[in-house]
């Protein structure tokens, strides 16, 4: 019970901070400069500029159909959290007073996107969304298997920024693209971490020596799989051997590969990007 309460409080704090950050990005930077973001937020900002309708109302109304889709696909808890988060953002936009922080267009585009990205990322870490674009893209990609989620988001944003170029001008559209890129990068950092990890799989006839070097010399944790060789350079088929898997940061990859290849120059090494990790031995052990 205590663990569940702690998780609820942590998620609530993350969502509230996300709302405040997104509101700062919008009211403190973007709205006065006529720059927009991508996704549902960008659509709301563009319609607000064209029709003079309050953006606080547009963000809430336009996101509602996507939240219904989220309820169908991702469950009631996600939908409730997201509805409260978007409602909170709308209320902040309607009633919270914030100064226009800078008239500089470049700073406005970059830091407006920065704070919006931080806001969306924090809300997502709390189990909610402030922008329903990815929900819509996920649903459409299920219906039209030809396109991935990222393809659909890209196509949507191309339409949004093309409309921005038509209604707001080329310069505003270009700065808006910069805003979107800054926001996307911050979302990636918050969801995937600043220290990106890489998974390394090693197949070698000297697996035991490599395992000891990685664990004792480099201080990394490893997982051992039992496997059999197919046809390789050594010509052995169905030869039992251990397959080693470890996770390291990008900065540690060269030293790990150097140790592996020093033991077995013919070792087969596969690297793959890992978005996030939890548990296990992810930091170096203290070596004596």
Domains of the chain by start residue, with CATH: 2-192 (no CATH), 197-274 (3.30.70.120)
Express as a percent the part of the chain with pLDDT over 70.
Answer: 88
- Asked if 214 and 246 touch (Cβ cutoff 8 Å), the reply is yes
Residue 144 neighbours by CB under 8 Å, 6+ apart: none
pLDDT at position 273: 79
Would you say residue 128 has pLDDT above 80?
A: yes
* Residue 209 binned pLDDT confidence (cut-offs 50, 70, 90): very high
Q: Does pLDDT of 88 surpass 80? A: yes
Supply 187's token pair.
Answer: 């979302």
Strand partners for 270: 201
The C-alpha atoms of residue 255 and residue 218 are separated, in whole angstroms, by: 9
Question: Residue 173 in contact with residue 161, Cβ under 8 Å?
Answer: yes
User: How far is Cα 78 from Cα 2, in angstroms, rounded to an integer?
Assistant: 21
Q: Residue 189's pLDDT band (boundaries 50, 70, 90)? A: confident
CB 254 within 8 A of CB 198: no
The overall average pLDDT reported for the chain is 86
Q: What is the tens place of the pLDDT at every residue in 18-72?
A: 999 999 999 999 998 989 999 999 999 999 999 989 999 999 999 999 898 888 8
pTM for the whole structure: 0.75
CA angle 87, 92, 98 (to 5 degrees): 160
Beta strands 197-203 and 268-274: pairing type?
antiparallel
CA–CA separation, 212 and 226 (whole Å): 17
**Residue 117, pLDDT above cutoff 90:** yes
On the question of pLDDT at 122 being above 70, the answer is yes
pLDDT of residue 198: 84
């Amino acid at each position: 019970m205590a663990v569940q309460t702690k998780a609820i409080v942590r998620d609530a704090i993350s969502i509230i901070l996300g709302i405040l950050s997104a509101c700062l990005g919008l009211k403190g930077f973007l709205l006065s400069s006529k720059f927009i973001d991508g996704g549902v937020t960008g659509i709301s900002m563009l319609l607000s500029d064209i029709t003079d309708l309050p953006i606080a109302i547009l963000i809430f109304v336009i996101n509602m159909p996507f939240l219904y889709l989220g309820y169908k696909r991702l469950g009631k808890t996600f939908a409730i959290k997201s509805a409260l988060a978007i409602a909170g953002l709308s209320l902040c936009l309607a009633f919270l007073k914030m100064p226009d922080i800078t008239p500089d267009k470049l700073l406005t585009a970059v830091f407006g996107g920065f704070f919006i990205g931080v806001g969306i990322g924090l809300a997502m870490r709390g189990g909610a969304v402030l922008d329903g674009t990815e929900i819509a893209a996920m649903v459409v990609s299920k219906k039209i298997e030809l396109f991935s989620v990222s393809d659909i988001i890209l196509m949507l944003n191309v339409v949004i920024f093309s409309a921005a170029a038509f209604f707001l001008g080329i310069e505003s559209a270009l700065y808006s693209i910069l805003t979107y890129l800054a926001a996307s990068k911050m979302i990636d950092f918050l969801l995937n971490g600043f220290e990106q990890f890489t998974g390394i799989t090693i197949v070698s006839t000297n697996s035991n020596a490599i395992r000891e070097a990685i664990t004792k010399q480099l201080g990394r944790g490893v997982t051992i799989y039992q496997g059999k060789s197919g046809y390789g350079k050594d010509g052995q088929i169905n030869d039992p051997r251990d397959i080693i898997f470890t996770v390291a940061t990008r900065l540690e990859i060269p030293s790990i590969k150097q140790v592996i290849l020093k033991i077995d120059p013919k070792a087969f090494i596969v690297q793959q990007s890992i978005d996030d990790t939890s548990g296990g031995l992810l930091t170096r052990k203290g070596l004596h």
